């Protein structure tokens, strides 16, 4: 089989099987709810330029620090920026950061996980050691440390989150591979003459995909929260881009003066998006590895 | 004679799965006299294990008993409360499970298994007495007394199964259900356990339901044989009669498909086809697609269980 | 020349030690799965390796098809050593020797449909064109009784029954037209009424392809049906071997006698007379000294504990490893 065919096969395996969701009970509802939330927020973010009533970064469009009113339903912040527009547009960064970090994790974590745990022995032991060391760090602390080294910017934020998350992919994949490689269908593939690459691509990877999907969606959720956290401590982005993380930072300071709306609505959005991804991830996880399977 | 010890009437058990509803047990009726051994034979999907679990109302979710009566010593077990069932399980009706590896609690010593059993059913018994009774019992089953302080993982498969048998017999139940008790064991250990069960049967006049797919075991151990196919009992009668002159074509096929070293010419004859899909079983007689003697009524009407030649059989050939 | 020759084969697996044990004890423990066996299989034979758990039969089977390498000793396939085989010759070997596995569910990739799974061997070995490969799959599906083949081609393993899955396993092995097949408990996890179907299929394929089988099982009755030669294994050693009828009708080794007496007979009038050895199979990590069976044997005497018996010839084809039969002609 050609290279293209094998990579094409990989891609096809990635499309989750979502037929018959209704019959899946709780898992189905979780997936439905989760994907609805995420899709709506994604659509909102993509159509932000048309949806926002005002330019989210334009200052003084309204009175400074005014509470929610008919004119400004979500109020304004200390710079006179319209909070509604900021909330609508602020998700872009979140999506970008989380998507990039997930892609990096997949490109790095999956091959390492597959190969090291399949090879076993010294390769497996050393890689596990490295991964466990990274995993031992509290995620946010490590992300902050790396972001501080790399500097501001969307890509750098995504990279620091990716580094923190790769060990999670590695662990899940490793536990799956260790089980699968003892199964007789892997022996059977050896009997057909398959080499390591063929075994990993055609026999092991397709059976590991469900767990990868589950980890990836939780990764999204975690990335969003971490991105907000990084911005909160000032390691995120430049000021001009509308970003929920920035609103959280300033909103906290403004809370003292009673302006609750600056932190509340963006905060709600962050939680909502993280929730959406979490529901989706847990639902998919239950779907692919049902715990009550007879 | 008098009342049979166990009387099952029209029992049906259903499982709700993602693919649809499965009738694991369909309208099963049978009587079991005190002191006799019933061998329930069938292949995978026949419903024999489900039937065994139903008697103790241990059918796992998503299964449910949907109809019928199970009369044990005169009372209907299906009408008991959960509390009453707990009193019955282990004391009046007990079970020997298939896999000795997973049926014992790995974090409890053997003595604690027995203490728990006594505490549940005979709370007045003191710990010391429970342990000494258990040790004596295990000794009679071939396990040295001092091993009662060990954990399950320190025992081999055969010894664990002896412990299971001990737990099942400790409170002298009226009925013991053994679900494939030797399937997970090696040949020689299986032989040891079968000899042990035979001895216990005689010594204690046990009433035993032996669930298995191995007809050699049934030939040796059972007084009455019940053959199950696709959730139904298709033939039920005395062992010798069943083996000498099987009436139902499936029974005949089952006997002929088994290996027989003494008479190889009568053995290893396959039954064509495969076990039925339990979500959409075949119409009429469920065995008809595989039956060598199928004729007009078979796909149309389900045969009823009728009495012929000292046994019950469900087959249109005998209508 | 025999097709398969096994010479003084051993396979030891190191026992994992905890950190404490590794730190404080120099002793290394091994599971002696295969502890010095010799046998050979000639073309066209169906050679049964019979034993209980811990006998080493499955490990031997895997070694015979090079899914594993020996700790010592050698395996010769058609005169060529499998231990020192080049990777190119190994690829060729993979066409000539195949395996049928015990658990039909675990032996099939749940994410691969039946057609592509069976085809994969042809794909890897680059045999024939796309078109020809598909035709071969259709042909073999019919041959193993999975008809209509077009229907089964696209099914996933979980959509098949146990017997059907096992046929797929067989098809996948046979499509490469091997000469030698190791079948590891091929019907142990298949329904009783289907077993004969599968075994008959394997026998008819033997006729068609001129196969040689090594048949691994714990079920003596099945071995009696399928095999023409039997070797009885216990704790990593072969204790007796010979023609089927020799071993079944006049077993010599006390362990063989015990196994034979334990075979269930589906006849209520038959009285089982079991010769049951005491105790259970000891751990293969520290097998008993001398004859491995001596602690359980009712006939054991002094020598049994001290000396590992060699093979004694009972007839041109029948050999037993037991001091009861030691004669000057023992090997």
ipTM for the assembly:
0.88
Is B264 near chain C, with CB under 8 Å? yes
The average confidence (pLDDT) of chain A is: 83
Residue with tokens 């146990």: C162
Contact C264, B39 (CB under 8 A): no
Determine whether the interchain pair A194/C124 forms a contact, defined as Cβ–Cβ distance below 8 Å: yes
Is B62 near chain A, with CB under 8 Å? yes
Q: Would you say residue A283 lies in a domain?
A: yes
Cβ within 8 Å of B, C 9-38: none
**Which of these, C324, C149, C176, lies nearest to C239 by C-alpha position?**
C324
Structure tokens belonging to residue C323: 């001091």
Q: Would you say residue A231 lies in a domain?
A: yes
Contact C258, B188 (CB under 8 A): yes
**C149 to C82, C116, C118, C139, C202: CA distances (angstroms):** 36, 13, 12, 8, 19
Q: Would you say residue A15 lies in a domain?
A: no
Does the pLDDT value for residue A17 go beyond 50? no
Beta-strand ranges (E) seen in B184-310 are 207-212, 224-229, 232-238, 306-308
Q: What percentage of chain A carries pLDDT values higher than 90?
A: 28
**Which of these, C320, C329, C330, lies nearest to C293 by C-alpha position?**
C320
**Which of these, C8, C69, C63, lies nearest to C39 by C-alpha position?**
C8
Tell me the chain C residues in contact with residue A12 when contact means C-beta distances shorter than 8 Å: none
Task: Look up the pTM and report it.
Answer: 0.87
Is C269 near chain B, with CB under 8 Å? yes
Q: How far, in Å, CA of C292 to CA of C308, rounded?
A: 8
Query: Strand order in B75-76's β-sheet?
Result: B20-32, B6-17, B63-72, B75-76
At residue A171, the pLDDT reads 93
Size of interface A-B (CB pairs under 8 A): 8
Q: Would you say residue A7 lies in a domain?
A: no
Structure tokens belonging to residue A154: 């969307």
**Which of these, C91, C140, C116, C185, lies nearest to A190 by C-alpha position?**
C91
* Tally of helices (H runs) and strands (E runs) in chain C: 12, 12
Determine whether the interchain pair A188/C99 forms a contact, defined as Cβ–Cβ distance below 8 Å: yes
Q: For the residues B274-278, what does the mean pLDDT come to?
A: 86
Residue with tokens 């139904």: B232
pLDDT in tens, C197-231: 999 999 999 999 999 999 999 999 999 999 999 99
Tell me the chain A residues in contact with residue C103 when contact means C-beta distances shorter than 8 Å: 184
B290: closest CA of chain C, how far (Å): 11
Is C228 near chain B, with CB under 8 Å? no
Q: Which of A196-205, A236-245, B168-177 has the lowest mean pLDDT?
A: A236-245
Contact A209, C133 (CB under 8 A): no
Q: What is the DSSP string of C135-150?
A: HHHHHHHHHTT--SHH
Q: How far, in Å, CA of C180 to CA of C310, rounded?
A: 29
Is B18 near chain A, with CB under 8 Å? yes
**Which of these, A173, A183, A159, lies nearest to A209 by C-alpha position?**
A173
Tell me the chain C residues in contact with residue A193 when contact means C-beta distances shorter than 8 Å: 91, 94-95, 121, 124-125
Does the pLDDT value for residue C188 go beyond 50? yes
- Burial string for C23-44 (b: 16+ CB within 10 Å, else e) reads eeeeeebbbbbbbebebebeee
Does the pLDDT value for residue C27 go beyond 80? no
At residue A291, the pLDDT reads 47
Does the pLDDT value for residue B203 go beyond 80? yes
Q: For the residues C226-252, what does the mean pLDDT come to?
A: 96
Q: How far, in Å, CA of C274 to CA of C258, rounded?
A: 7
Determine whether the interchain pair A203/C107 forms a contact, defined as Cβ–Cβ distance below 8 Å: no
Q: How confident is the model at residue C329 (pLDDT cuts 50, 70, 90)?
A: very low
Q: How far, in Å, CA of B142 to CA of B159, rounded?
A: 8
Domain ranges in chain C are: 4-84+213-325
Does domain C4-84+213-325 fall under CATH 3.40.50.300? My reply is yes
Mode of pairing for the β-strands spanning C180-184 and C97-100: parallel
Q: For the residues A227-234, what does the mean pLDDT come to?
A: 82
Q: How confident is the model at residue B275 (pLDDT cuts 50, 70, 90)?
A: confident
CA angle B301, B251, C52 (to 5 degrees): 140
Q: In a 3-state reduction of DSSP, which class is residue C33?
A: strand
Q: What percentage of chain A carries pLDDT values higher than 70?
A: 87
Does the pLDDT value for residue C183 go beyond 90? yes
Determine whether the interchain pair B15/A23 forms a contact, defined as Cβ–Cβ distance below 8 Å: no
Q: Would you say residue A161 lies in a domain?
A: yes
Dihedral over Cα of B186, B191, B195, B198: its sign? positive
**A178 to A124, A252, C104, C272: CA distances (angstroms):** 11, 47, 20, 45
pLDDT in tens, C63-80: 999 999 999 999 999 999
pLDDT in tens, B107-162: 999 999 999 999 888 888 888 999 999 999 999 998 988 899 999 988 888 899 99
CA atoms within 13 A on the CB side of A109: 32
The average confidence (pLDDT) of chain C is: 93
CA angle B305, B309, B315 (to 5 degrees): 35
Cβ-defined contacts of B138-146 (< 8 Å, 24+): B138/B110, B138/B162, B138/B163, B138/B166, B141/B165, B141/B166, B141/B196, B142/B192, B142/B196
Structural domains in chain B, CATH included, are 6-92+171-318 (3.40.50.300)
Dihedral over Cα of C190, C194, C195, C200: its sign? negative
> CATH code at A135?
1.10.3720.10
Give chain A's domain count: 1
Q: How far, in Å, CA of B175 to CA of B172, rounded?
A: 9
Q: How far, in Å, CA of A137 to CA of A164, rounded?
A: 8
Q: Would you say residue A11 lies in a domain?
A: no
Query: Strand order in B207-212's β-sheet?
Result: B93-96, B175-179, B207-212, B37-41, B224-229, B232-238, B311-313, B306-308
Residue scoring higher pLDDT (B220 or A8): B220
Q: Where in the sequence is the domain holding A152, given as residue range(s)? A: 24-60+74-288
Q: How confident is the model at residue A248 (pLDDT cuts 50, 70, 90)?
A: confident
Q: How far, in Å, CA of A231 to CA of C252, rounded?
A: 82
Q: Would you say residue A81 lies in a domain?
A: yes
A3: closest CA of chain B, how far (Å): 37
Tell me the chain B residues in contact with residue A21 when contact means C-beta distances shorter than 8 Å: none
pLDDT winner (highest mean) among A18-32, A248-262, B253-267, C305-319: C305-319
At residue C261, the pLDDT reads 93
Q: How confident is the model at residue A14 (pLDDT cuts 50, 70, 90)?
A: very low
Supply the angle between the helices C192-209 and C162-174 in degrees, to the nearest 10: 10
Point out which residues pair with C234 in neighbouring strands.
C237
Is C134 near chain A, with CB under 8 Å? no
Q: How far, in Å, CA of C262 to CA of C274, rounded?
A: 6
Q: How far, in Å, CA of B33 to CA of B156, rounded?
A: 35
Contacts of C194 (CB under 8 A, 6+ apart): B270, B271, B274, C162, C163, C187
Tell me the chain C residues in contact with residue B157 when contact means C-beta distances shorter than 8 Å: 280
**C201 to B289, C181, C195, C208: CA distances (angstroms):** 21, 14, 10, 11
Q: Would you say residue A233 lies in a domain?
A: yes
At residue A24, the pLDDT reads 58
Give the residue ranges of DSSP H helices in B127-233. 127-140, 157-169, 187-204, 215-221
Chain C interface, best mutation among A2, A121, A187, A191, by max C CB count within 10 A: A191
pLDDT in tens, B137-148: 999 998 988 899
Q: What share of chain A is helix, strand, coil (3-state, %, to 5)?
A: 75, 0, 25
Is B20 near chain A, with CB under 8 Å? no
Q: How confident is the model at residue A238 (pLDDT cuts 50, 70, 90)?
A: low
Does the pLDDT value for residue A92 go beyond 90? no
Point out which residues pair with C313 in neighbouring strands.
C319
Determine whether the interchain pair B62/A23 forms a contact, defined as Cβ–Cβ distance below 8 Å: no
Q: How far, in Å, CA of A243 to CA of A237, rounded?
A: 9
Q: What are phi and psi of B88, to 5 degrees?
A: -80, -40
Q: How confident is the model at residue A5 (pLDDT cuts 50, 70, 90)?
A: low
At residue B233, the pLDDT reads 95
Q: For the residues B290-312, what does the mean pLDDT come to?
A: 92
Round the CA-based radius of gyration of chain C to a whole number and report it: 21
User: CA-CA-CA-CA torsion for C88, C91, C95, C99, nearest 10 degrees?
Assistant: 140
Cβ-defined contacts of C310-315 (< 8 Å, 24+): C311/C38, C314/C242, C314/C246, C314/C252, C315/C242, C315/C246
Contacts of A68 (CB under 8 A, 6+ apart): A74, A75, A83, A261
Q: Report the residue count for chain C.
A: 331
CB A188: neighbour CB atoms within 10 A?
26
Is C215 near chain B, with CB under 8 Å? no
Structure tokens belonging to residue C57: 């039969």
Q: How confident is the model at residue B2 (pLDDT cuts 50, 70, 90)?
A: low
């Amino acid at each position: 089989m050609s290279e293209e065919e094998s990579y094409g096969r990989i891609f096809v395996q990635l499309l989750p099987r979502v037929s018959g969701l209704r019959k899946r009970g709780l898992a189905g509802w979780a997936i439905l709810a989760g994907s609805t939330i995420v899709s709506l927020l994604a659509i909102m973010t993509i159509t932000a330029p048309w949806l926002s009533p005002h330019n989210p970064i334009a200052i003084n469009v309204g009175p400074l620090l005014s509470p929610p009113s008919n004119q400004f339903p979500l109020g304004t912040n200390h710079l006179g920026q319209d909070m509604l527009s900021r909330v609508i547009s602020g998700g872009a960064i979140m999506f970008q950061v989380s998507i990039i970090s997930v892609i990096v994790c997949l490109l790095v974590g999956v091959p390492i996980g597959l190969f090291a745990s399949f090879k076993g022995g010294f390769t497996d032991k050393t890689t596990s050691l490295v991964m466990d060391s990274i995993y031992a760090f509290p995620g946010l602390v490590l992300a902050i440390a790396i972001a501080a080294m790399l500097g501001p910017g969307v890509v750098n934020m995504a990279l620091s989150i990716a580094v923190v998350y790769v060990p999670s992919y590695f662990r899940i994949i490793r536990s799956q591979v260790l089980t699968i490689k003892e199964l007789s269908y892997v022996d059977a593939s050896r009997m057909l003459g398959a080499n390591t690459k063929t075994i990993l691509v055609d026999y092991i990877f397709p059976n590991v995909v469900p767990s990868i999907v589950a980890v990836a969606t939780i990764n999204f959720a975690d990335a969003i929260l971490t991105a907000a956290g990084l911005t909160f401590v000032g390691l995120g982005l430049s000021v001009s881009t509308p970003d929920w993380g920035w609103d959280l930072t300033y909103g906290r300071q403004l809370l003292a003066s009673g302006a609750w709306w600056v932190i509340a609505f963006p905060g709600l959005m962050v939680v909502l998006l993280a929730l959406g991804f979490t529901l989706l991830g847990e639902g998919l996880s239950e779907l692919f590895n049902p715990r009550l399977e007879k | 004679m008098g009342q049979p010890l166990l009387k099952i009437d029209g029992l049906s058990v259903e499982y709700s799965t993602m693919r649809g509803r499965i009738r694991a047990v369909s309208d099963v009726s049978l009587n079991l006299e005190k002191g006799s051994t019933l061998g329930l034979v069938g292949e995978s999907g026949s419903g024999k294990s489900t039937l065994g679990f139903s008697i103790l109302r241990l059918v796992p979710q998503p299964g449910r008993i949907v109809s019928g009566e199970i009369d044990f010593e005169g009372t209907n077990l299906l009408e008991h409360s959960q509390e009453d069932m707990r009193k019955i399980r282990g004391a009046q009706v007990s079970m020997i499970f298939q896999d000795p590896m997973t049926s014992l609690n790995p974090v409890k010593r053997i003595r604690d298994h027995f203490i728990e059993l006594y505490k549940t059913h005979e709370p007045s018994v003191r710990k010391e007495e429970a342990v000494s009774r258990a040790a004596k019992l295990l000794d009679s089953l071939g396990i040295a007394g001092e091993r009662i302080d060990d954990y399950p993982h320190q025992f081999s498969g055969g010894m664990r199964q002896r412990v299971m048998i001990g737990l099942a017999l400790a409170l002298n139940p009226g009925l013991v259900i053994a679900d494939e008790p030797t399937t997970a064991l090696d040949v020689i250990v299986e032989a040891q356990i079968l000899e042990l069960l035979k001895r216990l049967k005689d010594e204690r006049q046990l009433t035993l339901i032996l669930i298995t797919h191995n007809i050699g075991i049934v030939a040796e151990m059972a007084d009455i044989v019940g053959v199950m196919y696709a959730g139904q009992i298709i033939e039920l009668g005395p062992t010798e009669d069943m083996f000498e002159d099987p009436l139902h074509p499936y029974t005949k096929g089952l006997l002929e498909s088994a290996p027989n070293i003494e008479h190889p010419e009568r053995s290893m004859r396959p039954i064509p086809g495969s076990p039925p899909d339990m979500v959409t079983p075949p119409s009429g007689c469920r065995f008809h697609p595989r039956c060598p003697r199928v004729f007009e009524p078979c796909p149309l009407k389900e045969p009823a269980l009728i009495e012929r030649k000292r046994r019950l059989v469900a087959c249109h050939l005998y209508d | 020349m025999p097709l398969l020759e096994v010479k003084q084969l051993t396979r030891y697996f190191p026992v994992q030690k905890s950190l404490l044990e590794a730190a404080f004890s120099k002793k290394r423990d091994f599971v002696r799965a295969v502890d010095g066996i010799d046998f050979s299989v000639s073309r066209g034979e169906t050679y049964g390796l019979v034993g209980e758990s811990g006998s080493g039969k499955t490990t031997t089977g895997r070694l015979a098809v090079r899914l594993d390498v020996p700790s010592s000793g050698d395996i010769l396939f058609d005169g060529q050593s499998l231990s020192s085989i080049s990777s190119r010759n190994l690829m060729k070997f993979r066409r000539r020797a195949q395996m049928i596995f015990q658990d039909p569910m675990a032996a099939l990739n749940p994410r691969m449909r039946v057609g592509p799974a069976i085809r994969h061997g042809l794909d890897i070995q680059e045999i024939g064109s796309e078109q020809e490969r598909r035709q071969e799959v259709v042909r073999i599906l019919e041959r193993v009784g999975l008809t209509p083949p077009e229907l089964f081609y696209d099914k996933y393993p979980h959509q098949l029954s146990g017997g059907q899955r096992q046929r797929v396993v067989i098809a996948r092995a046979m499509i490469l037209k091997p000469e030698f097949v190791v079948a590891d408990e091929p019907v142990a996890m298949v329904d009783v009424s289907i077993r004969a179907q599968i075994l008959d299929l394997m026998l008819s394929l033997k006729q068609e392809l001129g196969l040689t089988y090594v048949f691994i099982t714990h079920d003596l009755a099945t071995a009696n049906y399928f095999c023409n030669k039997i070797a009885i294994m216990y704790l990593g050693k072969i204790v007796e071997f010979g023609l089927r009828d020799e071993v079944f009708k006049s077993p010599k080794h006390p362990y063989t006698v015990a196994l034979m007496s334990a075979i269930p007979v589906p006849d209520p009038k038959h009285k089982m007379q079991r010769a049951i050895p005491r105790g259970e199979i000891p751990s293969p990590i520290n097998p008993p000294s001398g004859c491995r069976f001596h602690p359980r044997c009712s006939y054991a005497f002094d020598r049994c504990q001290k000396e590992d018996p060699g093979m004694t010839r009972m007839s041109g084809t029948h050999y037993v490893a037991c001091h009861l039969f030691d004669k000057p002609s023992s090997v």
